[in-house]
Amino acid sequence: MTEAADLRHGAETLAGPLPPLLAEAEHLAATVLLGDHGRRRAGLGDEFWQYRPATSTDEARTIDWRRSARSDAHFVREKEWQAAQSVQIWVDDSASLRFTGDKNRPTKGERARLLALAAAVLLIRGGERVGLYDEALRPARGELQLLRLAEVLSRPDGSADYGAPEARGMLPHSRALFVSDFLGDIAAVETQLTKAADRGVRGALLMVLDPQEEDFPFDGRTIFESMSGTLRHETLKAGELRARYLDRLAERKDRLERLSRVTGWQLSTHHTDAAPLPALLWLYSALERRR
Amino acid sequence: MWMAGSIGFAAPGLLLGLIALPILWLILRAVPPAPIRRRFPGVALLLGLSDDEQQADKTPWWLLLLRMLAVAAAIVGFAGPVLNPDAERSGDGPLLVLVDGTWADARDWPRRVDRLEGLLAEASRAGRPVAMVSLTDLPGGDLPFQAADTWLRSLPSLEPQAWEPDPDRLTAWADSLTGDFETFWMSDGLARDSRSDLLEVLAARGPVTAFESPRPVLALRPAQFEDGEVRLTALRAAPGEALDVPVLAWGLDPLGIERQLATATISFDSGATEAEVALSLPPELRNRVTRFELEGQRSAGAVTLTDDSLKRREVALISGRDDREGLRLLSPVHYLEQALEPTADLIDGTLEDVLLANPDVIILADIARLTALEAEGVQDWAEAGGLLVRFAGPRLAASDVSRDVEDPLMPVRLRAGGRSVGGAMSWGEPKALRPFADTSPFFGLSIPEDVTVTAQVMAQPDPALAERSIATLADGTPLVTRKPLGDGQVVLFHVTANAEWSSLPLSGLFVQMLERLAISTRPAIAEAAELEGTVWQPEDVLDGFGRVREAGQLGGVPGERLAEGLPGADMPPGLYAGEDRRIAVNVIGAETALAPVSWPASVTVEGIAVINETDLKPILLAAALMMLFLDALLSLALAGRLRGPRQGIAAILALALLIPQGAEAQTEDDFAITATSDVVLAHVVTGDPTIDQLAADGLFGLSARLYQRTAIEPSDPMAVDLETDELSFFPFLYWPVTADQPTPSAEAYAKLNRYLRTGGMILFDTRDADLGGFGAATPNGRKLQSLAAALDVPPLEPIPADHVLTRTFYLLQDFPGRHASRDIWVEAAPPDAEQVEGMPFRNLNDNVTPVVIGGNDWAAAWAMDQRGGAMFPVGRGFAGERQRELAYRFGINLIMHVLTGNYKSDQVHVPALLDRLGQ
Cβ–Cβ gap B44/A183 under 8 Å: yes
- Which residue in A has a C-alpha nearest to residue B639's C-alpha? A220
- Report pLDDT digits (tens) over B397-431: 877 778 788 888 888 888 877 777 766 666 677 88
The confidence score (pLDDT) of residue B2 equals: 64
Per DSSP, what are the bridge partners of residue B8? B3, B82
Can you tell me the mean pLDDT for A17-38?
A: 36
For testing contact with chain A, the best of B40, B63, B634, B641 (most A CBs within 10 A) = B40
pLDDT over threshold 90, residue A202: no
Can you tell me the mean pLDDT for B682-701?
A: 91
Give the residue extent of every domain in chain B.
1-28+58-82+613-657, 95-216+596-607, 218-305, 313-516, 528-585, 670-909
Name the fold adopted by B218-305. Immunoglobulin-like (2.60.40)
Nearest to B519 by CA among B353, B641, B684, B345: B345
C-alpha angle with apex B328: B326 to B332, nearest 5 degrees?
120
Residues of chain B by 3-state class (helix, strand, coil), percent to 5: 30, 20, 45
Residue B643: band (very low, low, confident or very high) from pLDDT cuts 50, 70, 90: low
- Report pLDDT digits (tens) over B760-792: 889 988 888 766 555 556 778 788 888 887 787
Regarding beta strands B313-319 and B361-365, do their DSSP bridges make them parallel or antiparallel, or are they unpaired?
parallel
Instruction: Tell me which DSSP letter residue B453 carries.
Output: B
Of the candidate ranges A23-27, A40-44, A60-64, the one whose mean pLDDT is the lowest: A23-27
pLDDT over threshold 80, residue B203: yes
Give the residue extent of every domain in chain A.
2-27+84-288, 38-82
pLDDT over threshold 80, residue B644: no
Residue B683: band (very low, low, confident or very high) from pLDDT cuts 50, 70, 90: very high
Q: Do domains B95-216+596-607 and B313-516 have the same CATH topology?
A: yes
- Report pLDDT digits (tens) over B786-801: 888 778 777 888 888 8
pLDDT over threshold 60, residue A21: no
Cβ neighbours of B56 in A, within 8 Å: 221, 236
Can you tell me the mean pLDDT for A167-184?
A: 81
Cβ–Cβ gap A223/B56 under 8 Å: no
Domain B670-909 has CATH 3.55.10.10: no
The mean pLDDT value of chain B amounts to 80
Q: How far apart are CA B528 and CA A21, in angstroms?
A: 123
B480 in Cβ contact with B471 (< 8 Å): yes
Query: Which residue of A181, A217, A234 is in closest CB contact with B41?
Result: A181
Cβ–Cβ gap A96/B41 under 8 Å: yes
Residue B650: band (very low, low, confident or very high) from pLDDT cuts 50, 70, 90: low
Instruction: Tell me which DSSP letter residue A60 carries.
Output: G
Is the model more confident about B912 or about A106?
Answer: A106
Dihedral, A26, A27, A30, A36 alpha carbons, nearest 10: 60
Nearest to A201 by CA among A137, A253, A133, A264: A264
| Cβ neighbours for B643, distance < 8 A, ≥ 6 positions apart | A217, A218, A219
- Report pLDDT digits (tens) over B608-619: 555 566 778 888
Instruction: Tell me which DSSP letter residue B842 carries.
Output: -
Query: Which residue of B40, B51, B638 is in closest CB contact with A224?
Result: B40
B443 and A CB contact within 8 Å: no
B756 in Cβ contact with B706 (< 8 Å): no
For testing contact with chain B, the best of A233, A235, A242, A272 (most B CBs within 10 A) = A233
Cβ–Cβ gap A231/B44 under 8 Å: yes
DSSP 3-state of B859: helix
pLDDT over threshold 70, residue B302: yes
pLDDT over threshold 80, residue B276: yes
Can you tell me the mean pLDDT for A225-248?
A: 83
pLDDT over threshold 60, residue A107: yes
Of the candidate ranges A38-42, B192-196, B391-395, the one whose mean pLDDT is the lowest: A38-42
Cβ neighbours of B52 in A, within 8 Å: 237, 240
The confidence score (pLDDT) of residue B41 equals: 82
pLDDT over threshold 70, residue A31: no
Q: How far apart are CA A84 and CA A124, in angstroms?
A: 10
Residue A35: band (very low, low, confident or very high) from pLDDT cuts 50, 70, 90: very low
Of the candidate ranges A62-71, B197-206, B577-586, the one whose mean pLDDT is the lowest: B577-586
Distances (CA, A) of B726 to A143, A269, B729, B844: 65, 60, 7, 31
B329 and A CB contact within 8 Å: no
Of the candidate ranges A276-290, B148-162, B335-349, B702-716, the one whose mean pLDDT is the lowest: A276-290
Can you tell me the mean pLDDT for B796-810?
A: 84
Residue B702: band (very low, low, confident or very high) from pLDDT cuts 50, 70, 90: very high
Question: Could you please report the per-residue DSSP string of B166-220?
Answer: PHHHHHHHHHT--S--EEEEE--SB--HHHHHHHHHHHHHS-EEEEE--SPPEEE
DSSP 3-state of B698: helix
The confidence score (pLDDT) of residue A113 equals: 82
- Which residue in A has a C-alpha nearest to residue B47's C-alpha? A233
Cβ–Cβ gap A220/B36 under 8 Å: yes
Instruction: Tell me which DSSP letter residue B806 carries.
Output: G
How is the beta sheet containing B761-765 ordered, strand by strand? B715-720, B680-684, B732-736, B761-765, B851-854, B825-827, B796-798
| Cβ neighbours for B442, distance < 8 A, ≥ 6 positions apart | B436, B470, B471, B480, B512, B513, B516
| Cβ neighbours for B191, distance < 8 A, ≥ 6 positions apart | B237, B595, B596, B597, B598
pTM of the model: 0.42
Q: How far apart are CA B707 and CA B713, in angstroms?
A: 5
Residue B664: band (very low, low, confident or very high) from pLDDT cuts 50, 70, 90: very low
pLDDT over 70, % of chain B: 86
Distances (CA, A) of A265 to A257, A268, B322, B731, B767: 9, 10, 130, 75, 74
Residue B646: band (very low, low, confident or very high) from pLDDT cuts 50, 70, 90: low
The confidence score (pLDDT) of residue B179 equals: 80
User: Chain A neighbours among B 46-75 (CB < 8 Å)?
Assistant: 46-47, 49, 51-52, 54-57
Cβ–Cβ gap A212/B639 under 8 Å: no
A126 in Cβ contact with A23 (< 8 Å): yes
DSSP 3-state of B561: helix
Of the candidate ranges B83-92, B109-118, B573-582, B867-876, the one whose mean pLDDT is the lowest: B83-92
Is the model more confident about B342 or about A16?
Answer: B342
- Report pLDDT digits (tens) over B16-57: 888 888 888 887 776 766 778 888 888 878 877 777 665 555
Nearest to B459 by CA among B438, B446, B476: B476
Cβ–Cβ gap A183/B45 under 8 Å: yes
Query: Which residue of A101, A218, A231 is in closest CB contact with B640?
Result: A218
Residue B166 identity: D
Chain A interface, Cβ < 8 Å to B = 96-97, 99, 101-102, 108, 161-162, 181, 183-184, 210, 212-213, 216-227, 231-241, 244-245, 248-249, 252
Q: How far apart are CA A284 and CA B284, in angstroms?
A: 99
Cβ–Cβ gap A223/B638 under 8 Å: no
Backbone angles phi, psi at A46, to 5 degrees: -95, -25
Backbone angles phi, psi at B915, to 5 degrees: -60, -40
- From the number of C-beta atoms within 10 Å of its C-beta (0-12, 13-18, 19+), residue B689 rates as exposed
Classify B725 in phi/psi space as left (phi over 0), alpha (psi -120 to 50) or beta.
beta
- From the number of C-beta atoms within 10 Å of its C-beta (0-12, 13-18, 19+), residue B866 rates as exposed
The confidence score (pLDDT) of residue A34 equals: 34
Name the fold adopted by A2-27+84-288. Rossmann fold (3.40.50)
| Cβ neighbours for B147, distance < 8 A, ≥ 6 positions apart | B124, B129, B130
Domain boundaries B95-216+596-607, CATH class: alpha beta
How far off is chain A from B690, nearest CA to CA, in Å?
36
Q: What architecture does CATH give domain B313-516? A: 3-Layer(aba) Sandwich (3.40)
C-alpha angle with apex B43: B40 to B45, nearest 5 degrees?
135
Q: How far apart are CA B640 and CA B617, in angstroms?
A: 34
